[in-house]
Amino acid sequence: MALVMRSLAAGASVTRAAVAAEVGLTRATVSTLVDELLASGLLEERGAQRPGTVGRPGTALALSGNGPAGVGAEVGVDHLAACVVDLRGKVRCRTQVPAANRGRPAPEVLAELAGLTAQVTREARDRGLLPVGTTVAVPGLVGRDRGTVLRAPNLGWEDVAVAAALGQETVVENEANLGALAELWLGGHPRLADFVHVSAEIGIGAALVVEGRLFRGARGFAGELGHVPVRPDGPLCSCGAHGCLETYAGEEALLRAAGIGAGGGPALRAAAEAGDPAALRALEEAGAALGIALSGAVNLLDPQAVVVGGPLAALTPWLLPGVRRELADRVTDRQWRAEDVVTSRLGRDGVLLGAAYSAARAVLDNPADWVLKHGA
């Protein structure tokens, strides 16, 4: 059942015959599985498919747009958001509020977030969806087993029990990881299974996808691109080291270098669009720093691509020239092409989308459980 669901989720096959061919089961077995999945509401039929070259036309199948759904929630430094995504990866309800979360008591933040997830869950149920789980994205190091945030310096959090506050079934995950998973699942780049995903809000977040899976490292802390040294004697970083990428390309450093006091990323983008020399210089230098750090990552990891997502995606017109130049200069042992650096199409929404879809995917990964409970 999981093979059938995943084959349809990947969009590769839409008829029973095509699914059978792809997953390597007989047509009869696939038909039986599809009937059970239809009866339990995980699949829908969409009428006859245009005839193939041989035999009767098949009936097109699709993942249900009205069955199980995932709830995603996001704690940003200056906002809170929640959404519900169906099995097809479509956002069905969404809410977002500005919130000054830096230094704000965690229980207060989580109470407000719980209100937002309750609201979108209610809306989703009103539309006939069945929310199956919640994933919360946080900008920090996460203890996934216990549903806690170990440390989120930009929020001022240490050892915050997020799952305990939002319901024990809640999964807590680092935002950079969820951005990368959204790219893997919903980014629309076919066959992209090995990549470095870079995003940023205040810090620089990155995550590694290897062979279609998130690469977590031995202790779960992989992907700290923000603390890769760019210039070992460079400016002091919040982590205590000198010259980390974050001191050149983190939002704070960027805004300072561009001379922008208020308005954050959107103000920087506006200044760059207006051709402001300080903004252009700051972005050019941040792009070069990003390219230097990424060239180390590419030399070590040999990914297919680097994907720039999250809030950084809005700045790629000005960041990418420096990124691409440094990569071209520093990754010389093998072919590395300018087009191997890609801008995410998910943009700022990637993290929230990844959170919600990771909750929905519990059903894709284990449809048999759902069928047992909801089948005919």
Q: Which of 55, 232, 261, 275 binds a second copy (CB under 8 A)?
A: 232
Counting contacts by CB under 8 A, is residue 264 touching a second copy?
Answer: no
Task: Please report how close the Cβ of residue 163 comes to a second copy at its closest, in angstroms.
Answer: 21
Counting contacts by CB under 8 A, is residue 91 touching a second copy?
Answer: no
Q: Which is nearer to a second copy, 61 or 331 (by Cβ)?
A: 331
Q: Which of 93, 149, 163, 244 binds a second copy (CB under 8 A)?
A: 244
Counting contacts by CB under 8 A, is residue 296 touching a second copy?
Answer: yes
**Stretch near a second copy under the rule CB under 8 A, chosen from 2-10, 106-114, 258-266, 322-330:** 322-330
**Which of 117, 106, 203 lies closest to 148 in space, CA to CA?**
106
C-alpha torsion 284→289→293→299, nearest 10: 60
CA distance 114 to 349: 19
Q: Are 188 and 345 in contact (CB under 8 A)?
A: yes
Q: Which of 30, 84, 279, 331 binds a second copy (CB under 8 A)?
A: 331
Counting contacts by CB under 8 A, is residue 376 touching a second copy?
Answer: no
Produce one character per residue of 65-77: b if its CB has 16 or more CB atoms within 10 Å, e if not: eebbbbbbbbbbb
Task: Please report how close the Cβ of residue 73 comes to a second copy at its closest, in angstroms.
Answer: 24
Q: Which of 94, 197, 227, 324 binds a second copy (CB under 8 A)?
A: 227
Q: Are 165 and 176 in contact (CB under 8 A)?
A: no
Q: Which is nearer to a second copy, 59 or 299 (by Cβ)?
A: 299
Q: Which is nearer to a second copy, 21 or 215 (by Cβ)?
A: 215
Q: Which of 223, 250, 265, 322 binds a second copy (CB under 8 A)?
A: 223
HEC assignment per residue over 122-178: HHHHHCCCEEEEEEEEECCEEECCCCEEEEECCCCEEEEEHHHHHCCCCEEEEHHHH
Ranges of beta strands (E only) in the chain are: 43-48, 59-63, 68-75, 79-86, 91-98, 130-138, 141-143, 148-152, 157-161, 171-174, 195-200, 204-210, 213-215, 305-308, 341-343
Counting contacts by CB under 8 A, is residue 210 touching a second copy?
Answer: yes
Counting contacts by CB under 8 A, is residue 27 touching a second copy?
Answer: no
Burial label, 86 (beta-carbon count in 10 A; 0-12, 13-18, 19+): buried
Counting contacts by CB under 8 A, is residue 338 touching a second copy?
Answer: no
Q: Determine the size of the site formed for a second copy (CB under 8 A).
A: 46
Counting contacts by CB under 8 A, is residue 144 touching a second copy?
Answer: no
Binding residues for a second copy (CB under 8 A): 141, 151, 194, 206, 208, 210, 215-225, 227-232, 239-242, 244, 292-293, 295-297, 299-304, 326, 329-334
